Amino acid sequence: MHERRHAAFATLRAMITTNDLAGELTGRRILLGLTGGVAAFKAAEFCRLLTQAGATVQVVMTEAACQFITPVTMQALSGRPVYTSQWDARADNNMAHINLSREADAIVVAPASADFIAQLAQGRADELLALLCLARPLAAAPLLVAPAMNREMWAHPATQRNLRQIAADGAHVLPVGHGEQACGETGNGRMLEAGELLEELIAFLSPKPLLGQHVLVTAGPTFEAIDPVRGITNRSSGKMGFAIARAAREAGADVTLIAGPVTLPTPRGVLRVDVGSALDMHASTMAEAQTATIFIATAAVADWRPAHAAGQKIKKDGSGQPPSLAFVENPDILAEIARSPRARSGDLYCVGFAAESEDLLANAQAKRARKGVPLLAANLGPATFGRNDNALLLVDAQGVTELPRASKRALARQLVAEIARRLPRAEA
């Protein structure tokens, strides 16, 4: 039973992953290099995710890598013959190191062992993978390195010196994870998981129209307590806000995400602040807005809260009547920030969200005017809450732009591009 359940979950995860990744890397040619290390098994999953995302993957393995995973496995996953030797005679010119490095949009070495990092730092070319990294056109074929090693090897001064050197030479060194290692020890040095590697690669290859910007995003619902076990909330899943935070990070921005009570994973590279009530979100957002340059208010903040939350669970008294609740209005976070001196001076660009149930355009235009924001994105709440897709109506002073129904991931990228296009440009 356990095996069947595990297989079912694995199948479901694969289906979800495939749907989420479709088209992310269409047309991209990725050279995936494997060096010796137990983390090579993660490279197999990473290769699968790359192909699902639409990339063409060419695998190159060192001799040591072949001790941990076979070229047959990587060929089956990539759909292309694997290269392991600089003396491979399949190429007409017998120059695999030149041909492979010229064909790649990016080279990703995952796992990258301490020995291979030392080779890169010294400019050695003992094997095909190191040779093609040395021969690659620096501007056309960026090199991403995903280290994987024991915690003591990672912390050794020689390794850290080598990492600084390859970064200075133009390599993009990915972070490592912390946790249990194959040797039984626990610490830094684990290679990132396959999904994390994919996020890092997509972010690296994405255009950077928001480079230098600090984006503040609010997402999800708020929870207004009635008593210690009950409260008032709404159906917002936070998916749109989290997708926007990820898209903004990919666009080059430093991103802070203030999240209501949701269980979504934090996008890589995003600073997350968890809050509960509208008052909590108000306090955190006002503080973070002092340094932000773009504020995107996607959170579905409760308009009212109980005037007094009971200290103990409210019990039924047998009368058949519900308890009497009085309400007070919550602060209007978006309007307050839009009226702030930084927003009025143009140092902070504000984007509002409106979840309506009817008359979308009229309500969106009225809300934009009422809040005093330059751009408002509106959607029909009942048609999007909890879903993975959405449709947006963008309203600004110039008119209306419709973003047709698509995945929230795709819409987030489109919205970030629209925001970047509307930002005030500094004087030349």
Active site residue 133: no
C-alpha of 423 from chain center: 22
DSSP 8-state code for residue 207:
-
- Cα distance from N-terminal residue to C-terminal residue, the chain: 67
Q: Which is it for strands 270-274 and 186-190: parallel, antiparallel or unpaired?
A: unpaired
- The string over 328-350, giving b where at least 16 C-beta atoms fall within 10 Å of a residue's C-beta and e elsewhere, is eebebbbbebbebebbeeeebbb
Given a contact cutoff of 8 angstroms between Cβ atoms, the answer to whether 258 and 288 are in contact is yes
Locate 114 and state its tokens: 């301490």
Q: Select from 206, 175, 247, 196 the least CA-distant residue to 28.
A: 206
Place of tokens 């008119």: 399
Coil, strand or helix at 211:
coil
CA-to-CA dists, residue 27 to 22, 54, 57, 303, angstroms: 12, 7, 11, 46
Q: Select from 234, 326, 340, 217 the least CA-distant residue to 277.
A: 234
State which amino acid sits at residue 68: F
Name the maximum alpha-carbon separation found in the chain.
91
Given a contact cutoff of 8 angstroms between Cβ atoms, the answer to whether 203 and 283 are in contact is no
Which residue is catalytic, options 47, 66, 133, 183?
Answer: 183
Could you list the active site residues? 183
